[in-house]
Structure 1
């Protein structure tokens, strides 16, 4: 028994050291590329490029502001004041109150504070996946402060009863901290390639996606934030979904019916049916992160939403 405990301790120590090394390496490889602002009582990391109508982009789970800097901003910065923000607890934005930031409504309030600090008025909000739930919550809470919504593979409706086991025990006494600081980063590093392949399947992973800072999502704090969000999301969406019919603004929804991560038949399609006047764009393949696999469709959706919102600076791409 004693020998087993000693071996367990040695194994955990080794995993802990590996986790610390991987965390430090990820931060060295992917430092913040934007600037830090104080807003809503926390430090928030934003990337901002270009001028014109304000376009604010909200990332999904395991994502970062940098994703948009790589995928869409090279084009959007030519026509829009393009802003991407690390959500609370992710990338280089502080967590703030963990309970407050664990649901899309709290995250929408942190985002609202950031946009006020930046002097952004009536933005087009683009929300991807979990970020779609945040964008919807923002529009419901601040209906007069949003010009339009572009929702890419959005999570909008409840669809599961329980979170996966690692997320479910991430905050459990004793085992939670051990899990976060020993196992997550090493195991995640081993499984990262296959996980990324699955979200784009059956197509290959776009080359641009290889430049994204996925390794940052395996840091203990990022994993803990994701775990809290995943555990709370289903119940939150159960309460938010009945209010979508009250939205009165231009909404363009881009989905892929072969999306294995967030089914368009549970989320995007019912959402389009619930919101008066919403436009639904169905892409042919591309998996889940359509801003990487189908950027032309997402860029066209942004331009369409901007035009519907009355922004003259939008330039339709042919």
Structure 2
């Protein structure tokens, strides 16, 4: 593995590269409160056949957390990814994103469809269609951001790990739950608060109208217990021209954490089938 901090458009960005660089590249984009460490099991499975690049998105992990929330917006993050791939001389990667990272992956693909080989979305959404919904979500995210700044990371993590979205993670081993908690605790107050303000679901544009124009292969992965995102994926299937949707039994929102081997094997099988 090669790990480094690269300056990307003025932001020190943490990047890991695993495996043979001559192989096709899989780019991994984590979710909110995540980092490259969330992908350890996925990376182990994929590196035999792929060059795997994992990045800490702005405000997360070891990547810089600027003070201006506008720097976190979708358009800026898409430009960051484009610059990063250019700097690493990577052309047409397979892009895999989870939750928030899935929204970034979809935004990047909608912006640069000719520069992505295939798109893999785990528990992801194209955003909210209705302006009123976006406004309400944006206000809720702003309150949550203020709460993080007021009470600090630890109290936020205590709250965040108990939300219904992550209820299935209570089935994980003590060791697994501790790893997830430590990853969340390692985040920066400014980074998490500004991520909510800059690229929360309420702030990003809706990509629903872009789905029909994405002709490259798209793989949607959801956990059977995550009924909200199963529903979103089924709706997305109606618009995407070249799509496959799989639901992993007895998994919730973070499939790669709850069922890491099954998740990574399914990704590998899908990629082998389309290449």
Same-fold status (TM-score > 0.5): yes
C-alpha distance after superposition, 1:199-235 (max 9, x if no partner): 1427602544532411023x3212212321464x235
* C-alpha contact 2:69 2:198 (8 A) present in aligned 1: no
Once the 2 structures are TM-superposed, how far is the Cα of residue 115 of structure 1 from its aligned partner? 1.3
* C-alpha contact 2:16 2:54 (8 A) present in aligned 1: yes
Query: In structure 1, what is the Cα distance between the partners aligned to 2:203 and 2:189?
Result: 24
How many residues are treated as equivalent by the alignment?
A: 264
Q: Structure 1 residues 192, 270: CA separation in 2 closer, same or farther (over 3 Å shift)? A: closer
Aligned to 1:248: 215
Query: Is residue 2:159 matched to residue 1:191?
Result: yes
C-alpha distance after superposition, 1:12-40 (max 9, x if no partner): xxxxxxxxxxxxxxxxxxxxx93201122
TM-score, length-scaled by structure 2: 0.84
- RMSD (Å) for aligned C-alpha atoms: 2.7
Partner residue of 1:64 out of 35, 54, 64: 35
Query: Is residue 2:137 matched to residue 1:168?
Result: no
Unaligned runs of 5+ in 1: 1-32, 311-318
Aligned to 1:205: 172
C-alpha distance after superposition, 1:119-156 (max 9, x if no partner): 11111000101111111111111111111011111122
Unaligned runs of 5+ in 2: none
Once the 2 structures are TM-superposed, how far is the Cα of residue 301 of structure 1 from its aligned partner? 4.0
Aligned to 1:98: 69
Q: Structure 1 residues 187, 210: CA separation in 2 closer, same or farther (over 3 Å shift)? A: closer
Query: In structure 2, what is the Cα distance between the partners aligned to 1:234 and 1:257?
Result: 25
Structure with max Cα Rg = 1
Query: In structure 2, what is the Cα distance between the partners aligned to 1:272 and 1:37?
Result: 36
SS at structure 1 position matched to 2:25: strand
Query: In structure 2, what is the Cα distance between the partners aligned to 1:247 and 1:101?
Result: 24
Once the 2 structures are TM-superposed, how far is the Cα of residue 111 of structure 1 from its aligned partner? 1.1
